[in-house]
């Protein structure tokens, strides 16, 4: 419904990231259309970028989340035309959806947004979406900053600590990454990075060429497109050594197997950029716009995830809206070879099988796990799952009946799906569902360790706080839930994401507070991996989410 004030074109910047991303574009000004004041429009635009664009898209055409264009029209193969849009839903209904979420997996935002923000957001998404600009290599180069020159990098760790058991922890809402000593549980640093870092990746052990000191250098990717380089051998106050921005909205990063290049994938502009790993100088940018698996041209074809293949000199780039996995050979940047592998929509998180040959990734909207053979560069299989699979960093383990298996949680329902992933040793079970586990609620992450008897699954997507705040532990031997652990009971907090320490004796779980507090408001709860009892807490953290153990991540321990 109309809000009364006709919007005029704005020239006011709302912060470098959002001003660059959207400019200061006005919404529709016709009297019969929804309108917002300039201040409310700018505020809603930023909030949409922070909270909504990841699922619904910058242009609001939808992906994991629904299409949020004011008006849309779809024509089916039989010629049937369906029309819809946010204008058809109307102000009141949109406010209720934003506030209370949906059973299909959308979060409730009643404890994140104020009533005024919810009201303005409902109006904002009934207005036409502003289209952001592009970003060139020259523009990327202008954002590059070097804090420590490569020539000044130390030849050995300056702090004398067991850096391979460090944990690198995302402090999402303050745009920082914490470094924690896994032996002493000390927080060594809070490193300023991009806004809402989504993923961190390190140089990894590789079966073809080995980078020097795998796990020493970590690269972050913020949702504002900023990529930072962290050197864990430095003294804590100097660990941030360089940064560069490769887009306005981004999600993932990966390091080449030889340690020479870093690739960053953007949501907007829809492209990936290849950067020199030592100097952080941008070297190449490649658009991911294209024709999807349905034969439709997609402008907002976003890079959802990027992974380094352990056995090949390539990256796997998941182009979300296209339903394609691009296997990119980094050995010749001037003549870049890209094999485009059709699969299913909408691609998101994935992980490798224990051999490193097969890549397993969720196609959320298709309710499938997609498997690619990175040796042949071809689609291997597609596995039907429950609603909206989301494995996060995934989990592999040995099942007594099916042999080697992988598993995923789901955004859409409380289920863990387990499938066989050993086509050579157990061909009868390969890429078939072995069993499913019914959990109390939908979740985001699943994790285990070769030295553990258990698989851990969170339930962050369930609407009830008590279930959001608990995690469930599943026996590898029986496939049954053996323990439900109440990690937190604090209002506004949830239990999310798991990581084991280097030897697999501890499990670290984040207590994440969804508020935007500028004071430490979260902690990591540590459990004995065998007895499942709490053995410690790391406090003084800002909304900790993902945690990455240096040894486990650089050695492909899942």
Catalytic positions, written as ranges: 52, 55-56, 106, 348, 390
- Chain CA centroid to CA 178, Å: 18
- Chain CA centroid to CA 439, Å: 22
Residues facing residue 146 across a β-bridge? 242
CB 314 within 8 A of CB 306: no
- Residues 525, 502: Cα–Cα separation, whole Å: 16
Spatial CA neighbour of 256 closest among 301, 300, 306: 306
CA atoms within 13 A on the CB side of 250: 32
Residues facing residue 410 across a β-bridge? 389
- Residues 170, 177: Cα–Cα separation, whole Å: 5
Query: For the residues of 479-548, what is the DSSP string, one character each?
Result: -SEEEEEE----TTEEEEEEEE-TTSSEEEEEEEE-S--SS--EEEEEEETTT--EEEEEEEESSEEEEE
Query: For the residues of 276-314, what is the DSSP string, one character each?
Result: ETTT--EEEEEE--EE-TTS-EES---EEEEEE-TTSSE
DSSP code, position 133: -
DSSP code, position 175: T
Q: Kindly tell me the burial class for residue 290, based on how many C-beta atoms sit within 10 Å of its own C-beta (0-12, 13-18, 19 or more).
A: middle
Contacts of residue 328, defined as CB under 8 A and 6 or more positions apart, other chains included, come to 263, 272, 314, 315, 316, 317, 336, 337, 338
Measured in degrees and rounded to the nearest 5, phi and psi for residue 138 equal: -65, -40
Task: Give Dmax (Cα) for the chain.
Answer: 68
Neighbours of 433 (CB within 10 A): 17
């Amino acid at each position: 419904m109309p809000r009364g004030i006709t919007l005029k074109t704005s020239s006011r910047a709302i912060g470098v990231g959002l001003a660059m991303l959207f400019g200061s574009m006005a919404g529709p000004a016709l009297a019969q259309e929804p309108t917002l004041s300039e201040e409310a429009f700018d505020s809603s635009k930023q909030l949409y970028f922070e909270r909504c664009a990841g699922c619904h898209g910058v242009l609001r055409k939808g992906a994991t989340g629904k299409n949020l264009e004011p008006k849309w029209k779809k024509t089916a193969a039989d010629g049937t035309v369906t029309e819809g849009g946010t204008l058809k839903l109307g102000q009141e209904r949109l406010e209720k959806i934003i506030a209370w979420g949906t059973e299909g997996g959308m979060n409730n935002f009643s404890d994140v947004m104020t009533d005024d923000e919810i009201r303005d957001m409902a109006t904002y998404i009934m207005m036409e979406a502003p289209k952001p600009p592009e970003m060139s290599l020259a523009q990327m180069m202008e954002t590059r900053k070097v804090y420590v020159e490569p020539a000044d990098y130390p030849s050995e760790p300056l702090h004398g600590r067991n850096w391979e058991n460090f944990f690198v922890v995302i402090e999402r809402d303050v745009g920082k990454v914490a470094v924690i000593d896994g032996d002493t549980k000390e927080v060594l640093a809070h490193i300023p990075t991009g806004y809402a870092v989504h993923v961190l990746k390190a140089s990894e052990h590789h079966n073809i060429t080995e980078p020097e000191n795998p796990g020493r250098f970590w690269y972050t990717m913020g949702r504002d497109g900023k990529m930072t380089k962290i050197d864990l051998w430095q003294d804590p106050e100097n660990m941030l050594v360089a940064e560069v921005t490769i887009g306005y909205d981004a999600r993932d990063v990966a390091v080449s197997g030889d340690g020479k290049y870093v690739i960053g994938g953007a949501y907007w502009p829809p492209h990936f950029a290849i950067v020199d790993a030592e100097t952080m100088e941008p070297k190449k940018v490649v658009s991911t716009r294209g024709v999807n698996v349905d034969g439709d041209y997609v402008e907002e074809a976003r890079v959802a995830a990027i992974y380094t293949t352990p056995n090949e000199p390539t990256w796997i780039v998941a182009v979300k809206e296209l339903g394609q996995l691009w296997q990119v050979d980094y050995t010749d940047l001037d003549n870049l070879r890209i094999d485009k592998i059709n699969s299913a929509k909408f691609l998101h998180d994935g992980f490798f099988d224990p051999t490193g040959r097969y890549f397993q990734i969720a196609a959320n909207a298709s309710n499938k796990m997609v498997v690619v053979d990175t040796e042949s560069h071809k689609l291997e299989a597609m596995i039907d799952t429950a609603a909206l699979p989301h494995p996060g960093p995934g989990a592999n383990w040995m099942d007594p009946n099916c042999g080697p298996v992988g598993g995923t949680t789901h955004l859409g329902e409380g289920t863990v799906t387990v499938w066989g992933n050993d086509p050579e040793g157990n061909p009868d079970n390969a890429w078939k569902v072995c069993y499913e586990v019914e959990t109390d609620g939908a979740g985001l992450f699943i994790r285990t360790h070769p030295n553990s008897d258990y698989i851990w699954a969170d339930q962050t997507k369930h609407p009830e706080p008590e279930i959001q705040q608990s995690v469930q532990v599943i026996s590898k031997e029986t496939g049954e839930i053996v323990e439900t652990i109440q990690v937190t009971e604090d209002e506004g907090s949830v239990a999310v994401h798991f990581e084991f320490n280097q030897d697999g004796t501890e499990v670290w779980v984040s207590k994440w507070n969804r508020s935007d507090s500028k004071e430490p408001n979260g902690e990591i709860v540590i459990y004995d991996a065998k007895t499942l009892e709490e053995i410690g807490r790391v406090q003084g953290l800002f909304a900790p989410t993902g945690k990455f153990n240096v040894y486990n991540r650089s050695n492909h321990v899942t």
